[in-house]
Structure 1
Amino acid sequence: MPELDGMALLAKVREFTPLLPVIIITGHGNMESVIEAMRLGATDFMTKPIRLKELELILEKLAEQKEGGNLQKTFPFHGTVRKYMNARQPHVSFISKSSRSKNMKKMMKQAVLAKCDSILITGETGTGKETVAREIHSMDKDSNGPFVIVSCPALSESQIDGEFFGKLEGSAHATRYRAGCFEASNNGTLVLDEVCDLTPTSQGKLLSVLETRKIRKHGNEQEIDLNVRIIATTNKPIQERVEQKVFREDLYYRLNVFHINVPPLRERKEDIIPLVHHYLKTFSETRNIEVAGISDGAKRLLLKYHFPGNIRELRNVIEGAAILALGKVIRPEHLKIHVVELTGEEGIDDDSIDPGVEAERKLIIDALERSRWNRRKAAEFLGIPYSTLRFKISKLGL
């Protein structure tokens, strides 16, 4: 293609139809292009010349997934502002093996049972705040309504009224009414993602809706009663924003009727391995990325890692490792992470994993054995400098 290559086109397709199955066919496939295609969301990857039997098998699997309901229904994206999902659409289940996660699950159930219509979810980037919101929506068996997500950072001053209360779209010859996010999510759930980034004007209009639970849609003076659960999420210290007069205090109290804080992954390490198995199963079922399992050494390396990007980073790490493993067992060398905890430069969660000498010894011996006692390769596996590994080997008497 003269203007777009296949990867650029795939990225564009994903902007507008993020769940549409896409098979990449190329004449110059290599491992880098396979990884890039899978990261961009390709369903499968084929190289020319096309083997019709292989293509037929891929299409048959996609057809089976569609018939079984495993292919998600795609709803329109409106620019980068709004995303729609089906009320009972399959989603990433909330994994709750750690005590912190189990407590969160309990709080979600309490919010649903109490019919709480204003919930604030806080937590670092990538902790799974949207997953928590989706889980709350799915727990409510009385609600068959839509699940709508609005990206607050993407809302400009000129878009506020249209996104909140609706607008007419089209040309002079043909126009249609597009409902605002409150009307579109009525009898369901509206998620205001990164609510701290709302402009002052947006904050005032949101407060008015929360106080009255009514809206006037575009071009109509008649008020509409709202029956919608509003979930606000943020990765910023919202109370500090209130103190700094950046975020309205009255709006904060309206949103913070029920507060759920999603802890970072480093504080709930018991969830890491269950999440890994969940992602591997998902990749196998929806992306045809098959692996034979994950080694104990790779698991230990994951448990040692700090995961500053939280669950989102874990998913990306496992996706890349699964692609590199090529149907084999995922080993430490497939995990593109830099474990600095072994150097003593960063702390480790003492409650979740034993950072003692024996645990360190086992991890280093495992890396040395896998590299056939090539210390430089072992240092690469562990993600630490070669000089640090030499010091550790000497200190441990290996």
Structure 2
Amino acid sequence: MLSNYLEKMLRLYERTDAILITDSNGYIEYSSMVSSDINNFKNAEVTGKHILEVYTSLTEDTSSIMRVLKTGQPIIDEKQIVKNCKGETLYLINSTFPIVVNKKVIGAIEASVYLDELSEEEINHINDKSIKNLYTLDDIITSNESLLEIKNRIRKIATNNSPVLIVGETGTGKELVAQSIHSHSKRSDGPFVSQNCAAIPDTLLESILFGTAKGSYTGAEEKKGMFEVASEGTLFLDEINSMSMGMQSKILKVLEDKKVRRVGDSKEIKVDVRVVSAMNKDPVSAIEKNIIRSDLFYRLSVVQIKLPPLRDRKEDIAILVDSFINKYNREMQRNITGISDLVKGLFDNYAWPGNVRELRNIVESAFNIAKSNTITMQDVPEYLFNSRVNKNKTDTINIGDHSLPDMIENYEKKILLTAISESKNMVDAAKKLKISRQSLQYKLNKYDIQ
């Protein structure tokens, strides 16, 4: 099979200088310098290493190999500037294809032509693409029905220019959604500019958003604001509910007039910007409490997307953990294979107030201290043990075809897993259950709980 792929790749160009094959995770399985004029890596030097380890300037978003592995779609004749781990800068034309067996992507193969140089215009174009590194819909990892519907909705609304308001708790991925909207829009070649409105005071925010005229205040220089910088692209305003009412009225005027006036200037400048905004408070409550102007809310929320918190999409925890493990295995050169059953139980019974961001940070923290290839209870922060989830929810019992002894055993097993997941050690768990350590050990052995 691979020989057929190789033959096809060699026929792509009049002169193919290099062939590279990776597995489904991006680890190099084969590398060959086809042209004798090229003095690059030998196969033995790079086999077993990750593509991002060999070509250090690349990221998951800029590497053609990693993008093909993620999407399963080929990339043809893409020009790249890469720097390898020897410190050499290479100018390439790459064509990259997925290797598919039984409808599953098991790897990628890439053919490269080495160029002596690129024009300044070509270099600037490549650099512009590399700098963006924006999220796409492929980065929204989920099996949750409501979030899958949101992904479908993003595909539909991305092609329009209507303002979008994203509502969600901290850490639910509001900027990820904003970038995805831009990446799949007709404005994707334009700039994506992001500003957290809560990060700076109103007096400074006005000059940042609208720009300044020279001499408008001591030391002021002629400077574009974010509305001008984002022209023909997308401006993402996060935490708009943190702005004062006065600042909100100025934003509203810009949206209605499609013109900005720099601080200290008398002339107005036309801008062509799609505004995507976000807030971490309930909009209706925010309007009632005069936190946000109702007219601004209606103007910004032509399309509204409400992101579910992680506690309402528990089915995504496992696939998110796998994604973060793959990410940090590459970045930290580890070989973590997964999490223990007890950690899984702990994660499933935690409220995740920090949402996906908190989960990602916990996995990254575990990578720094894990001694084995499995993340265990010893590797996760202690504060997780002291949190109880869904205290107000009652368990429902589905009798079905189960006998009473079976249901009692299942319930006892669930209690044991919960107690262990919320305890520092066996002694602590036994105390919580008000049984001896020996009794606890007997029950764990009975249910084969490791």
TM-score, normalised via structure 1 length: 0.67
Residue 388 of structure 1: which of 432, 436, 442 is its match?
432
C-alpha deviation, 1:155, in angstroms:
3.1
Once the 2 structures are TM-superposed, how far is the Cα of residue 304 of structure 1 from its aligned partner?
Answer: 2.0
Structure 2 SS opposite 1:379: coil
Tell me the SS of whatever aligns to 2:158. Answer: helix
Match of 1:178 in 2: 223
Q: Determine if contact 2:213/2:262 at 8 Å carries over to the other structure.
A: no
Corresponding residue of 1:132: 177
Greater C-alpha Rg: 2
Of 338, 349, 353, 2:385 maps to 338
* CA spacing shift, 1:153–1:350, aligned 2, 3 Å: farther
Structure 2: how far apart are the matches of 1:61 and 1:258? 38
The letter for the 1-side match of 2:133 is: Q
Asked if residue 149 in structure 1 is aligned to residue 194 in structure 2, the reply is yes
Aligned runs of 1:272-311 on 2, under 5 Å?
A: 272-311=317-356
Equivalent positions of 1:156-235 (< 5 A) are 156-167=201-212, 177-217=222-262, 221-235=266-280
The one of 157, 167, 192 aligned to 1:111: 157
Given the superposition, is the C-alpha separation of residues 314 and 65 from structure 1 closer, same or farther in structure 2, using an over 3 Å criterion? Answer: same
Aligned to 2:290: 245
Q: Deviations along 1:233-252, whole A, 9 cap, x unmatched?
A: 11112222212233211111
Which secondary structure state, in structure 2, belongs to the residue aligned with residue 143 of structure 1? coil
Instruction: After TM superposition, give the deviation of residue 157 of structure 1 in Å.
Output: 3.0
Specify the alignment match of 2:142 in structure 1.
96
Q: Report the counterpart of residue 3 of structure 2 in structure 1.
A: none
How far apart are 1:387 and its partner, in Å? 3.2
How far apart in 2 are the matches of 1:203 and 1:168? 21
CA displacement at 1:333 relative to structure 2: 3.2
8 Å Cα contact 1:87/1:146 also seen in 2: no
Looking at structure 2, the residues matched to 148 and 85 of structure 1 have their Cα atoms a distance apart, in angstroms, of 14
2:57 — aligned with what?
66
Q: Once the 2 structures are TM-superposed, how far is the Cα of residue 332 of structure 1 from its aligned partner?
A: 3.1
Return 5+ residue gaps in structure 1 as ranges.
1-57, 73-83, 369-374
| Residues 12-53 of structure 1: per-residue CA shift (max 9 Å, x gap) | xxxxxxxxxxxxxxxxxxxxxxxxxxxxxxxxxxxxxxxxxx
Equivalents in 2 of 1:206, 1:132: separation in Å? 22
Please give the secondary structure, in 1, of the residue aligned with 2:423: helix
Aligned partners of 2:213 and 2:264 also within 8 Å: no
Contact 1:190 1:229 in 2 (8 A): yes
Deviation at 1:367, TM superposition (A): 8.7
Contact 1:341 1:348 in 2 (8 A): no
Indicate conservation of the 8 Å contact 2:213/2:265, yes or no.
no
For the pair 1:266 / 2:300, whether they are aligned, the reply is no
What count of residue pairs does the alignment treat as equivalent?
317
- Structure 1 residues 306, 246: CA separation in 2 closer, same or farther (over 3 Å shift)? closer
In the alignment, the residues of structure 1 paired with residue 163 and residue 199 of structure 2 have an alpha-carbon distance, to the nearest angstrom, of 22
Q: Is contact 2:165-2:303 (8 Å) kept? A: yes
Structure 1 counterpart of 2:113: none
Return the alpha-carbon distance in structure 1 between the equivalents of residues 130 and 375 of structure 2: 34
- Secondary structure of residue in 2 paired with 1:66: coil
Q: Which amino acid in 1 is paired with 2:143?
A: K
Amino acid at match of 1:106: N
The higher relative CO (CA closer than 8 Å, separation ≥ 6) is in 1
Q: What's 1:14 paired with? A: none
CA RMSD, Structure 1 to Structure 2 (Å): 4.1
Counterparts of 2:388 and 2:409, CA distance in 1: 15
Could you report, residue by residue, the CA deviation over 1:183-242 in whole angstroms, capped at 9, with x for unpaired residues?
111122111111000012210110001111222345665543322221111111222221
**CA distance, structure 2, for counterparts of residue 85 and residue 130 of structure 1:** 19
Confirm or deny: 8 A CA contact 1:192 1:231 kept in the other structure.
Answer: yes
Q: What code does the residue aligned with 1:164 have?
A: L
Q: For the structure 1 residues 194 and 142, does the alpha-carbon distance in structure 2 shift closer, same or farther, using more than 3 Å as the test?
A: closer
Q: 1:378 to 1:189 in 2, by over 3 A?
A: closer
Identity %: 31
Distance change (3 Å), C-alpha of 1:179 and 1:391: farther
Structure 1 residues 228 and 137, CA gap change in structure 2 (3 angstroms)? same
Distance 2:271 2:246 in 1: 21
1:287, distance to aligned residue in structure 2 (A): 3.8
State the AA in 2 paired with 1:128: G
**Could you say if the C-alpha distance between residues 245 and 305 of structure 1 is closer, same or farther in structure 2, counting changes exceeding 3 Å?**
closer
Q: Deviations over 1:280-339 (max 9, x none)?
A: 111122343541322333223212222122111111111112222245111233232226
- SS of equivalent to 2:205: helix
> Which of the two has greater strand per residue?
2
Q: Work out the CA distance in 2 between the residues paired with 1:122 and 1:350.
A: 31
Q: TM-score, normalised by structure 2?
A: 0.60
SS in 2 for 1:140: coil
Q: Which has the higher helix share?
A: 1
Determine the structure 2 residue equivalent to 1:6: none
SS at match of 2:343: helix
Give 1:270 shift: 1.2
1:321 matched to 2:366? The reply is yes
Give ranges in structure 2 of 5+ residues lacking alignment: 1-48, 64-127, 398-406, 444-450
Please tell me whether the aligned partners of residues 324 and 360 of structure 2 are also in contact (alpha carbons under 8 angstroms). yes
CA contact (8 A) 1:379 1:386 kept: no
Asked if the contact 1:306–1:339 (Cα under 8 Å) also holds between the matched residues in 2, the reply is no
